[in-house]
Amino acid sequence: MSAATATRSQLALQSYLDALLQEATFEDLEPLVETPPAPAPAPLKPVALAVAEVATPAPALETLPVDHGFDEFEAAVLEEIERVTSDIDQVSQFIVFGDSLSDAGNFPDLQSPTLGGNPTGGLRFTNRTGPTYGPGEYIGEVGTQRLAGMLGLQSLPSTPLLPALLTGNPDGTNYAVGGYRTDQILDSINGDSIVEVGGLSRTRPGYLRENPRVDSNALYYLNGGGNDIFQLNTNPVTMAQAASNLVAGVGALQAAGARYIIVSDLPDVGTTPLGAFTGQAATFNFLSDQFNAELASQLQAQGGNYVLVNNRLLLAEVRADLAAFGFDPNVAQTAVCFDASAGNCQADPVYSLGGSAPDPSRLLFNDAVHPTTAVHQISADYLYSILSAPWEVSLLPEMGRSALRAHLQQLDTELAALRGDWQPIGAWRTFVQGGYNRPEYDGYGGGDGHGLSLSLGVTHRLSEAWLAGVSLGLAENSLELGRNDSDYDMRSYLATAFARYEYQRLFADFSLSAGYLDYHDLKRTFALGITERTEKGDTEGTLWGAAVKTGFNLMQPGDRLQFGPFIGASYQKVDVDGYSEKGARSTTLSYDDQELDSLRLSLGLFGDYALTERTRLFGEVAREVEREDEDRRDLRMSLNSVPGNSFELPGAVPTGDQTRFSVGLTHRLTPGLALRANYHYRGNDNRDHGLGLSLALDL
């Protein structure tokens, strides 16, 4: 683009914003409440109730000077995009429909930092980022934006009035607009998305008009209902009708192929500064009760896969323990607000804008109905805890498989060490093995584990070519997963019968395994704002497996170097019983039974080298290919506090193809006693390291 062209574009943009500034003021976007003469709810100017989602400031943007070059601004935008990127890819997109609770900035924020004298930020219905919380600062992100960042995605406004040339952002997938009633939310799905203020408007086709067949791997989120209550005087509607609009939106998305849909209930809108200011708290809460009852009932009747989250209970839990979440317990939190400029709530004398020590993080509400970014953070963490839970819990079968693999790896090491060193026909040999393994998993914050094992086994020489035995194993395994180090412990009891055949250069191994898994002290830990919460449970499981491996020695028996190829196949099945976390808080969950099937084929090379008469080095390398569970599975679960709603969300991707290798050393201490040590590794999508030490004694 030439300099002249750029100048013309900026001049056109300047004219656009000048017209906007003349026709709209910041006050036009603030909620206005008429003092009600009767118990009926007082109308609000079209501005939605927002209750719970997160808003982390955009640090790269909030420090922008008042006037700067476009290139500098664009760089800051790119930096912010990079900031919110995470290391997971559980869902492909995040698409949002709702009101001011979720509005990512479709309206222009006329007091935001400027570019060439023009505002560059979108209006969001919460507090500014600070330190002054006034003009020249960006407004904090709402919860859907923060959640998107935690998922490695974006939540940009769908129909912003500020052009992309100014903001550096294209039209996004957040169709939530401040002031939207549920009928308008439905229109943004299958009709038109319309954003208008001060005589300026923009229309974009609704999501399903642009996407008749949706991305089935995307996450969809809907909230609404507050504005249907606040606008009853100007737009009469029953709560059944209001709820049916959201339900119809869910149904339309499901029919178009959406698999993962989250629907927020409506918190007690009377338990806000607006309820206290107008004296209509009881009326507002009664209507909230009606809306939620209709929403739950109609969603259940419609069916399909959806998650109805309990924001109402979550916020009640916050109010019951204000100090734990960083809010001042000595403040009448439901009666005061941070920004009382609209005149419909009472400013807190200490923490409000203009107070003695302004700090929105100490207050629940920014204005009469909209929460501060601190509350948004809590609710976003709440949603993230639900989305990450199936990834964590679906690794319980992987825990069992990891324990069995470590057990079999130790056994395989023992058999490899026996090559050319069998006991006499009819004789017995016993062995004891200790091992440590460390699995690593990618996903929501990642995770790793620790495993300690002890095995006791015995072998019997049946004939010149056959050796058979049994191994019993006990292991303690733990996993630490996620951003807040959830802790999952498992004790395994394993038994394996095995046999080896050797004839000249040919060998073959056979094994059959079974086990019981005791999952205890399962602690799912996650953030809720500045605090942490842990939900606990217990369950059990079983497993069995079978394996065969055959190989050919390319060298002569008795040579110092033994070397050759092998092929193998193994089948493993792990079943984990469903369980419920204890209690019925907003965050407790229940999970259905899980099953993991694994059929792996392997091709590799083995080697064995005699260092001395008494010491040998051995090892192998192989490629394992998974032929059974290769794709991510959904886990069926439910919120304990939301009866009648079970749903499926994506779990972890089962461990797929892997490359593995092992190396070991065996040393004969005495004619009937040998010491062995080994290291093994397998990795690709997930990884596992292990160490082992054993003693073998001829009986």
Average pLDDT for residues 388-417, to the nearest whole number?
92
Give ∠ CA 354-274-55 in degrees, rounded to 5: 65
Lowest mean pLDDT among 9-13, 166-170, 347-351, 654-658: 9-13
Q: Is 70 exceeded by the pLDDT of residue 221? A: yes
pLDDT tens digit string along 32-83? 233 333 333 333 333 333 333 323 333 332 323 333 333 333 333 333 333 3
Query: Could you give the angle at which helices 143-150 and 373-393 cross, rounded to 10 degrees?
Result: 30
Torsion over CA: 589, 374, 325, 295 (sign): negative
Q: pLDDT category, 141, cuts 50, 70, 90?
A: very high
Q: pLDDT category, 293, cuts 50, 70, 90?
A: very high
Catalytic residue among 99, 100, 388, 638: 100
**620 near 680, Cβ under 8 Å?**
no
pLDDT tens digit string along 332-386? 999 999 999 998 999 999 999 999 999 999 999 999 999 999 999 999 999 999 9
Residue 66 per-residue DSSP state: S
Catalytic residue among 339, 367, 412, 688: 367
Q: Is 80 exceeded by the pLDDT of residue 457? A: yes
pLDDT at 37: 31
Does residue 367 have an active-site annotation? yes
pLDDT at 80: 37
Q: Compute φ and ψ for 352, nearest 5 degrees.
A: -75, 165
pLDDT at 623: 96
Amino acid, res. 216: S
d(C-alpha 226, C-alpha 182), whole Å: 9
d(C-alpha 100, C-alpha 230), whole Å: 13
Does residue 450 have an active-site annotation? no
pLDDT at 59: 30
How many CA within 13 A on the CB side of residue 467? 23
Q: pLDDT category, 25, cuts 50, 70, 90?
A: very low
d(C-alpha 252, C-alpha 264), whole Å: 17
Q: Is 60 exceeded by the pLDDT of residue 530? A: yes
User: Rounded to two decimals, what is the model's pTM?
Assistant: 0.85
Write out the two tokens for 207.
């999501």
Q: pLDDT category, 421, cuts 50, 70, 90?
A: confident
Q: Is 80 exceeded by the pLDDT of residue 468? A: yes
pLDDT tens digit string along 547-564? 999 999 999 888 899 999
Catalytic residue among 109, 370, 379, 486: 370
Give ∠ CA 515-519-521 in degrees, rounded to 5: 155
Give ∠ CA 611-614-616 in degrees, rounded to 5: 40
DSSP notation for 134-198: STTSPBPPPHHHHHHHHTT----BSS-SS-HHHHS----SB---TT--HHHHHHHHHSEEEEEET
Question: Which stretches does DSSP call E strand in 416-505?
Answer: 428-441, 447-461, 466-481, 486-503
Asked if residue 131 has a cis previous peptide bond (ω within 30° of 0), the answer is yes
Q: Is 80 exceeded by the pLDDT of residue 512? A: yes
Q: pLDDT category, 691, cuts 50, 70, 90?
A: very high
pLDDT at 366: 98
pLDDT at 89: 52
Reduced to 3 DSSP states, what percent helix, strand and coil does the chain have, rounded to the nearest 5?
25, 35, 40
Q: pLDDT category, 86, cuts 50, 70, 90?
A: very low
Which residue is associated with the tokens 């030439």? Answer: 2
pLDDT tens digit string along 168-220? 789 999 999 999 999 999 999 999 999 999 888 999 999 999 999 999 999 99
d(C-alpha 431, C-alpha 522), whole Å: 33
Percent of the chain with pLDDT over 90: 77
Average pLDDT for residues 485-494, to the nearest whole number?
97
d(C-alpha 498, C-alpha 64), whole Å: 69
Percent of the chain with pLDDT over 70: 87
**574 near 593, Cβ under 8 Å?**
no
Q: pLDDT category, 420, cuts 50, 70, 90?
A: confident
pLDDT at 460: 96
Work out the mean pLDDT of the chain and round it to a whole number.
87
